[in-house]
Copies of this chain bind each other. A is one copy, B any other.
């Protein structure tokens, strides 16, 4: 020992900093290796991880789940009405984003959007009455995810709203999403004024029939090739859908014009879609939901099949743990805020749109979308780094979603909850940010991370079995 310390030392310090501090205080040098115990030292999660790592049953189940995700081919079939299209949708039911949450606990924008939906349905004559109705227990609130659906931000779907209908014919599963209203004062960010309701009425009465007429003429539209093309055009198809929305218009317009839809309606529909670069988002989300539902329910699989936030809790579902949600408090988003807004004004992370990251696009495919940093912050180099980091916690590269900037490597997809807990690398999510109070709307956008605790809880509950 004394001989060792007589020589000049080359020190690598792993983990706790105080050892390196001491050496440096004495004039020595130490290279610090960033390290933390798996699951941040949570012993139950650590034990679960030890049980599940290198378990051949988990590996086989994950391979099967990932294969099902990769094989899915979601098709846009048309537009339906929520009360008819969504399985289990009730006549006095309103669906919301994220895991289950009671009215009293809901964040401001979700309550605001529900008030708007009640007014839109004509169940109450003003906001006060709507609020009393919501509080009085007359309406059932359930997650979109419990009805095959996904909705961005508040994610509110009420019975008479039009919904996109998506079918994955490979596995026979269906998924749904509401229609995107654009930016500004919109229901999904918690606004519920007369202009919001008027726009929803117009979308039901004019836009939806025009789109249904166009899709009826065109036939089912394969969504994955359109997403793949958009990834070559600077979108990540979560918070940047400029190319995908344009490509959708190009596909729909000739059919719309030939469909016999009234010319004034067609013109209004085209103008609305052409003015909304986020129009494709909800289709992207429904397609991701269809791919991931195809991978859900594989016994022993640790693959994550949903990440969703209700503005209070962040929840995940895992293929091998059934319908159960594993939750943790939803984080605040340290993003780019609009003028005169800050993180103090923000609702916590909100929306089903993290289904895109769960499916390997959005934040996972940021390498495809360097220009998105102008919206969510950071540099194009950060965007590349985010995609590369996600390769450490995912099961596959999706060859259907290639990333030009990474020499056409596939997007990292199929989050393995084990790897998240083991590495501490948390799934990255690009997201919009809503004001915490009802009725205000969007106040920014940013990059956030899924909470570790969701994945740790899932591992503890994941049962392995021979099949």
Binding site for B on A (CB under 8 A): 229, 232-235, 242-243, 246-247, 249-251, 253-254, 257-258, 263, 266-267, 270-271, 274, 370-371, 373, 379-381, 404-408
Contact = CB atoms under 8 A, between A and B. Distances in A.
A209 to B, nearest CB: 16
Contacts of A246: 243, 246-247, 249-250
The 10 closest A-B pairs by CB, nearest first: A370-B404, A246-B246, A257-B267, A254-B271, A232-B371, A250-B274, A233-B234, A371-B404, A233-B233, A253-B270
A451 to B, nearest CB: 30
Nearest to A273: B250
Contacts of A404: 234, 370-371, 373, 380
Most central of A242, A246, A247, A380 by chain B CB within 10 Å: A246
Report copies per complex.
Answer: 2
Nearest to A253: B270
A420 to B, nearest CB: 29
Contacts of A270: 253-254, 257
Contacts of A242: 229, 233
A19 B251 CA distance: 63
A interface, by DSSP: helix, strand, loop or mixed? helix
Contacts of A371: 232-233, 404
Contacts of A405: 370, 380, 405
A207 to B, nearest CB: 14
A105 to B, nearest CB: 40
Contacts of A373: 404
A161 to B, nearest CB: 25
Nearest to A259: B267
A62 B274 CA distance: 41
Most central of A243, A251, A379 by chain B CB within 10 Å: A243
A254 B232 contact: no
Nearest to A383: B404
A257 B263 contact: yes
Given A242-B233, A381-B407, A257 B249 contact: no
Contacts of A251: 274
A84 B278 CA distance: 42
A359 to B, nearest CB: 21
A202 B415 CA distance: 52
A383 to B, nearest CB: 9
Given A250-B274, A370-B405, A267 B263 contact: no
15 contacts: A233-B233, A233-B234, A233-B243, A233-B371, A243-B246, A246-B247, A246-B249, A250-B274, A254-B267, A254-B271, A257-B270, A263-B263, A371-B404, A380-B408, A381-B407
Contact of A250 (B249, B254, B257, B381): B249
Contacts of A233: 233-235, 242-243, 371
A238 to B, nearest CB: 16
